[in-house]
Structure 1
Amino acid sequence: MSLGSSHDFFDSTFYERVIELGMQNLEFTSLSDPELVYLFIHDDPDIKKVRKPNTKKVYFHDLSYFMRYVLETSGSLRALHKEDVKRYFYRIKDYKDTTLRRKKAVIKQFLQYIYRKGAIPEDITSEIPGISIDKKQLVNRDFSTEEVEQLLYYFKHNDSFMYALLYTLVTTGMRIKELTNAKWNELIYDANHDAYILQIIGKGDTPREVRIFEEVLESIKKVRQLRGLSIDVDLTDNSAFLPKADGSHYNSDYLGTFFSTKIIKTTFPFVSHRKNKITPHTCRHFTAKYLSQQNIDLKSISEFLGHASVRTTEIYLRRQNLRENLATLKLGKTMFSVK
């Protein structure tokens, strides 16, 4: 097996051959360090949870830096000790807490994987230091109803595509990738609830449903009409829900960047003076906050957004809850009446 370039690590041909011959017949003790990295990247932990290409790229990126450290300090994975692993995390401690936690998870999974496969004699992950997230490092994704309304009004009269995109994101809480992957034939009308429902595939290939309000649907239909596409609900229409000019799907990274750039160009003071730019994910946080303000329970919001844990939803709402619990906000307009 030759792993001469990074592209070779994403070629699944060798892995497919290994599966055909049987993973149990592979002698892991004789494999090189790059081969161990390759197998880990391709060997999905669950047959129904296949790692996406982007996930594999992140794993490869994190492990590439780690393997350089291994080469510099120990020479190989088989000569690596617990203290070496611990020192690596002290070396990279200046990364953001969220990035450190991701790197820790990837490296720990990898080292435990090659231990279980018998490539190294012991589990050397026990000395990896804990990493807690400083909540101050979390991006401020505050986005008020008034700001949303101003942007919707602006785009409604200036840019029908951005109007449809923003309106869809703030009312559904969809991830940008969920929206770009959605198809027109996944839209159904639920007569029992007199509502349009879009069936989407969320993170981890988990199916869920989001409601498409009629005003939002009208904005989508306008875009489709401009593209020369059908606006009738049709289970046979395989075009993208929010399509490009040829009916195909947008790339999620491209559309996310396009969205943020268009927002910045509006030059509203609340846009130009904010510390963090408004992104599709900002809209997702807005949806969570808005639903919470309508007294929707936390579990329902979490399920609606497709969160694997209610804890994630709590983090989304943390800033709002801190503001609402600010003691002096409960006192009315003033504390003293000075005549």
Structure 2
Amino acid sequence: MRGSVRIEAFLEMMSAERGASENTLASYRRDLEDADEEIGNIANAGTEALRAHLSSLATRGFASTSQARKLSVLRQFFKFLYAEGLRSDDPTGTLDGPRRERALPKTMSEAETSRLLDQAAQEAAEKPDDLASLRLHALVEVLYATGLRVSELVSLPVSVAARDERFFVVKGKGNKERLVPLSPKARQAMRAWQEARTAHPAFAGSPYLFPAASETGCLPRQVFGRELKSLAARAGIASAKISPHVIRHAFASHLLQNGADLRAVQQLLGHADISTTQIYTHVLEERLVRLVNDHHPLADKPL
């Protein structure tokens, strides 16, 4: 059985048993096919061939984060082959990952976030008949209120707005469900968008809150990303620093800055492992320093 056939078998397993998204499957396919092309029949590769492939990634200019991701994919692939009895060993067992420092996520200040939300609200109020303005306002409000992944946001079911509740259930990675709260402003923006959406005949019958004439039937995340950058520019914020993912990080950072528990933030973000959420420990450290400086009896006090 050639490497490409076993790659397909692995991807089918990831889809059927792990609930991997289309984006994840496409990324895994690229990484495995790249290794298969360089090594030749990757399913039969040995440790040294894989080590040489990983070394070549650095030579080709891949960042340490990309190298680590590709190694993770290889490990999952060979664990699958071993578990299925297609190999009697796992050649990735002794491979070392690249050393890397975890970069702090880009985020926004609370003031910048308020300006962005205020701009979206102002434009929606000034153009109550403009579908694009109402939709963008709802998207931004819901994103900051919930910290959803952009793929989760654009594919929200229309029933989320129909119920008008303080919480709703979102289906995330691996088809895992989690409960997320919705702020009053986000609910209000969603109601305004839903009213306009319902009156538009082109959207009738769509199961999505943010429908579009796209392959998936919902608003492409790239379109939202472009609209968000334009909104940031109109709000006087550098568009280069803004993305849906940055707002997700702002949601988490601002919660922690204002006293939220790391475990609670983990649940809200839909992180399967607390280690993923620990990129925000710098926020907790800053909060603890302030706490000690403000309240410890021996801390330096301003005169």
State TM-score, norm by structure 2.
0.79
Partner of residue 9, structure 1: none
Computing the radius of gyration from Cα coordinates, the structure with the larger value is 1
Matched, 1:199 2:163: no
| Structure 1 pair 112–96 and aligned structure 2 pair: CA distance change class (3 A) | same
CA shift for structure 1 position 189: 5.7
Partner of residue 251, structure 2: 287
| Structure 1 pair 330–249 and aligned structure 2 pair: CA distance change class (3 A) | farther
| Structure 1 pair 199–83 and aligned structure 2 pair: CA distance change class (3 A) | same
Partner of residue 297, structure 2: none
CA RMSD after TM alignment: 3.2
Partner of residue 36, structure 1: 6
CA shift for structure 1 position 302: 1.2
State TM-score, norm by structure 1.
0.72
Name the amino acid aligned to 1:147.
E
Partner of residue 261, structure 1: 229
Partner of residue 15, structure 1: none
| Structure 1 pair 314–112 and aligned structure 2 pair: CA distance change class (3 A) | closer
Q: Secondary structure at the match of 2:283?
A: helix
CA shift for structure 1 position 69: 1.6
Contact 2:115 2:235 in 1 (8 A): no
Q: Deviations over 1:82-106 (max 9, x none)?
A: 1121121111124222222210111
CA shift for structure 1 position 150: 1.0
Matched, 1:104 2:71: yes
Which of 36, 42, 52 is the aligned partner of 1:67? Answer: 36
- Relative contact order higher in (CA < 8 Å, ≥ 6 apart): 2
Within 2, Cα distance between the matches of 1:149 and 1:156? Answer: 10
Contact 1:141 1:285 in 2 (8 A): yes
CA shift for structure 1 position 148: 1.0
Contact 1:82 1:125 in 2 (8 A): yes
Matched, 1:173 2:173: no
Contact 2:146 2:181 in 1 (8 A): yes
**Sequence identity of aligned pairs in percent?**
21
Which of 204, 208, 218 is the aligned partner of 1:240? Answer: 208
Which of 215, 218, 221 is the aligned partner of 1:250? Answer: 218
Partner of residue 7, structure 1: none
Q: Deviations over 1:229-263 (max 9, x none)?
A: 49xxxxxx8642344499x9524433442344323
Matched, 1:52 2:21: yes
Name the amino acid aligned to 1:123.
D
CA shift for structure 1 position 117: 3.6
Q: Deviations over 1:277-309 (max 9, x none)?
A: 211111111111222233222211211221112
The structure with the largest helix share of the pair is 2
Contact 2:212 2:219 in 1 (8 A): no
Partner of residue 162, structure 1: 136
Q: Deviations over 1:173-196 (max 9, x none)?
A: 111111222212245769xxxx52
Matched, 1:305 2:269: yes
Partner of residue 153, structure 1: 118
Within 2, Cα distance between the matches of 1:153 and 1:308? Answer: 33
Q: Secondary structure at the match of 1:225?
A: helix
Name the amino acid aligned to 2:245.
H
Within 2, Cα distance between the matches of 1:79 and 1:170? Answer: 47
Partner of residue 226, structure 1: 196
| Structure 1 pair 125–161 and aligned structure 2 pair: CA distance change class (3 A) | same
Q: Secondary structure at the match of 1:43?
A: helix
Task: Give 5+ residue unaligned stretches, structure 2.
Answer: 124-132, 295-299
Within 2, Cα distance between the matches of 1:206 and 1:212? Answer: 19
Q: Secondary structure at the match of 1:44?
A: helix
Name the amino acid aligned to 2:148.
M
Partner of residue 134, structure 1: 101
